[in-house]
Chain A
């Protein structure tokens, strides 16, 4: 897994916005030239008078082209450092944590409160309580389910917490807002995050392509040894310096007099910007500022919705473009809405009750869990055995004979084919499969685990609290009084049960449209690809127009027709494209922090990030991005260009 790294971003210099900007600029420049050429062509055919009305437009058109070129230039000039802390996407650079501890399953009351009892009391069962009086705590112990079962959030002798572990569990890995901010603050002082330069393979003589062991030169023009083209270095290197490789002066007078600076060639290129290295300066006002955007929510569902919206809007930042959001959504859908399964059960004992729609079942040894949504078939289990009998006739002669015996003549045991809606388990944080030969037991809800709104029912085997061994403890329930024994009243609650014979492959149910499809970036933004294809074609057409305009008038009219059609399409596309950016994120879990121009450098920014107030608590799921801008000549581009976008 990668670690969070500082990178450089210019609004109009990354991803798709770069494409828009480059193409629009090229287009504007192209059209300015074309307009001039066309005017000249028209002058030649002496119809300038007829074109007066068009010339007004031409002037305005050129003005807009200038404005367009200027705004693209402005945006391109404004570059920032950014750091993206990403715990959730497939290219995550920090590891979120799943809070989960295993222990023995502890019995709980109907409200879900863990139960305790005093096993040394004459009637331990009668001491069962969810609330142990303080002076009695040393004699009470957790009332564990029998048979013992290791479950998530169970009781462990190694954890001595008074907090119910169920209240700390979450089905989705967590990386809180505080952790994101801490990661950001630490990244300001990461010693390994420095600029990195990789070799450029240049064409030319060996002098511009130094090989391993050659002397090369640094920014100051000093020679450096130990060069290896395969190694990524932390500084810009050149093929030429202030002196020769041997250390003697340049023989060429121009080079000797300083021309070496303009004549030298870069032999490597920056591949990583490294962290902003702002030391802070109170005397000269080397100010720096930062804008932090946090996408954070108390629930995973709201988080992924917010993240989705934010990343689509900012898909010109490479990480947001690359982050496939399907995985995030899939995790959530797999947990909350898994597909149906069909299971064949055998030996379902009707004496304990046959399974019915709505019953929740779970494997005894393996984790499969689900609610029965349909009983597809029920038929008597075939239990036929062949026995060898010896029969004696009335004169005493014996004979052996084989006889078939139906072990299920009363139909007590039934085979059932059922459809279940699987339920993700707290152990796997996902749906578990049912395993052949494993028994399944009816379940009941005993409290909830997780924190609202991600609270899920805790299922335990029905009657687990009344489970007993024949013998010592049998009297506790079954024979609590001679009267109940005579009446055959038993407090033991028996779950329905059966055995898994196999899990069937299921063909997914036909969905009801509209479906949630896998969305690629070009689908996310309407006509994303078409837009750029059109821009490209437009420029090509304009070039063709210049070549043919003066030759054939009819050809020119045809070309104009095509161009007009193209422009109409382009305007329509831009209108749709614009609609995509009309996204209201006011309801999403997005928080912003603007640390305005300050003088303490990296340290001041880091401290500002961790000490700012006003962030809501309990934002358990979070990702974030911090932009850093440096004041140059009294001007901080971040505050001018970025703040209006992000702090709207």
Chain B
């Protein structure tokens, strides 16, 4: 009599392989921190420029007021 057999598909057995680990996690964190610092630097530079302009205008105003 023919026998019915079920075939169980097994998971692929784990195998060793030569590894080249990378710290993508730390690199990602540092890259984000770097990008963040670069952006903030730009904002600060912009802001400094505007404050300088503002200060200059204030001084001119004071000079004009003083002259008049």
Residues of A at under 8 Å CB distance from B?
A: 11-12, 17, 20-21, 24, 27-28, 31, 35, 38, 42, 45, 47, 50-51, 53-54, 57-58, 60-61, 64-65, 67-68, 71-72, 75, 293-294, 310, 313-314, 316, 553-554, 556-557, 560-561, 563-564, 567-568, 570-571, 574-575, 577-578, 581, 583-586, 590-596, 598, 608, 611-615, 641, 644-648
10 A–B contact pairs at CB < 8 A? A20-B33, A47-B54, A51-B47, A568-B41, A574-B33, A585-B22, A586-B20, A596-B14, A611-B13, A612-B14
Residues B30 and A591 in contact, CB atoms below 8 Å apart: no
Q: A64-B35, A313-B21 given. 6 additional CB < 8 A pairs?
A: A54-B50, A57-B39, A61-B43, A314-B21, A571-B37, A593-B15
The 4 closest A-B pairs by CB, nearest first: A592-B19, A54-B46, A586-B20, A614-B16
| Closest A residue by C-beta to B52 | A557
B27 interface residue per 8 A CB criterion: yes
Residues A560 and B51 in contact, CB atoms below 8 Å apart: yes
Residues B14 and A553 in contact, CB atoms below 8 Å apart: no
Residues A612 and B13 in contact, CB atoms below 8 Å apart: yes
With A68-B36, A567-B41, A614-B15 as given contacts, are A592 and B21 in contact (CB-CB < 8 Å)? yes
B62 interface residue per 8 A CB criterion: no
Q: Which residues of A contact B53 (CB under 8 A)?
A: 50
Q: Which residues of A contact B35 (CB under 8 A)?
A: 64
With A31-B40, A593-B14, A648-B21 as given contacts, are A68 and B50 in contact (CB-CB < 8 Å)? no
The distance from the CB of A303 to the nearest CB of chain B, in whole angstroms, is 15
Q: Contact flags (1/0) for B8-50 with A, using CB distance below 8 Å?
A: 0001011111111111111111111111111111111111101
With A61-B39, A293-B19, A612-B15 as given contacts, are A71 and B44 in contact (CB-CB < 8 Å)? no
Residues A571 and B42 in contact, CB atoms below 8 Å apart: no
The distance from the CB of A173 to the nearest CB of chain B, in whole angstroms, is 24
Residues A553 and B24 in contact, CB atoms below 8 Å apart: no
Q: Which residues of A contact B25 (CB under 8 A)?
A: 11-12, 17, 75, 641, 645
Per DSSP, chain A at the interface is helix
Residues B29 and A75 in contact, CB atoms below 8 Å apart: yes
With A35-B43, A645-B22 as given contacts, are A65 and B30 in contact (CB-CB < 8 Å)? no
The distance from the CB of B62 to the nearest CB of chain A, in whole angstroms, is 13
Q: Which residues of A contact B20 (CB under 8 A)?
A: 584-586, 590, 648
Residues B14 and A20 in contact, CB atoms below 8 Å apart: no
Residues A591 and B16 in contact, CB atoms below 8 Å apart: yes
Residues A596 and B11 in contact, CB atoms below 8 Å apart: yes
| Closest B residue by C-beta to A313 | B23
Q: How many residues of B contact A (CB 8 A)?
A: 44
Residues of B at under 8 Å CB distance from A?
A: 11, 13-48, 50-55, 58
Report the Cα distance A316→B22, complex, angstroms.
Answer: 13
Q: Which residues of A contact B58 (CB under 8 A)?
A: 553
Residues A645 and B23 in contact, CB atoms below 8 Å apart: yes
Q: Which residues of B contact A17 (CB under 8 A)?
A: 25-26, 29
Interface centre among B11, B30, B35, B36, by most chain A C-beta atoms within 10 angstroms, is B36
With A553-B54, A593-B15 as given contacts, are A571 and B21 in contact (CB-CB < 8 Å)? no
Report the Cα distance A38→B29, complex, angstroms.
Answer: 26
Residues A570 and B30 in contact, CB atoms below 8 Å apart: no
Q: Which residues of B contact A553 (CB under 8 A)?
A: 51, 54-55, 58
Report the Cα distance A484→B43, complex, angstroms.
Answer: 100
Residues A647 and B19 in contact, CB atoms below 8 Å apart: yes
Q: B14's contact among A27, A45, A571, A608, by CB below 8 Å, is which?
A: A608
Residues A595 and B14 in contact, CB atoms below 8 Å apart: yes
The distance from the CB of A583 to the nearest CB of chain B, in whole angstroms, is 8
The distance from the CB of A280 to the nearest CB of chain B, in whole angstroms, is 15
Q: B47's contact among A54, A554, A575, A591, by CB below 8 Å, is which?
A: A54
Report the Cα distance A314→B53, complex, angstroms.
Answer: 49
Q: Which residues of B contact A12 (CB under 8 A)?
A: 25, 29
Residues B32 and A20 in contact, CB atoms below 8 Å apart: no
Q: Which residues of A contact B18 (CB under 8 A)?
A: 586, 590-592
Q: A578's contact among B14, B27, B47, B51, by CB below 8 Å, is which?
A: B27
With A313-B23, A570-B37, A585-B20 as given contacts, are A45 and B29 in contact (CB-CB < 8 Å)? no
The distance from the CB of A481 to the nearest CB of chain B, in whole angstroms, is 64
Residues A38 and B19 in contact, CB atoms below 8 Å apart: no
Report the Cα distance A577→B31, complex, angstroms.
Answer: 10
Residues B22 and A61 in contact, CB atoms below 8 Å apart: no
Report the Cα distance A563→B26, complex, angstroms.
Answer: 25
Residues B14 and A591 in contact, CB atoms below 8 Å apart: no
Report the Cα distance A578→B25, complex, angstroms.
Answer: 11
Q: Which residues of A contact B34 (CB under 8 A)?
A: 571, 574-575, 578
| Closest B residue by C-beta to A563 | B44
| Closest A residue by C-beta to B31 | A578
Residues B37 and A581 in contact, CB atoms below 8 Å apart: no
Report the Cα distance A586→B55, complex, angstroms.
Answer: 57
Interface centre among B19, B46, B47, by most chain A C-beta atoms within 10 angstroms, is B19
Residues B23 and A71 in contact, CB atoms below 8 Å apart: no
The distance from the CB of A116 to the nearest CB of chain B, in whole angstroms, is 43
The distance from the CB of A148 to the nearest CB of chain B, in whole angstroms, is 47
Report the Cα distance A316→B27, complex, angstroms.
Answer: 13
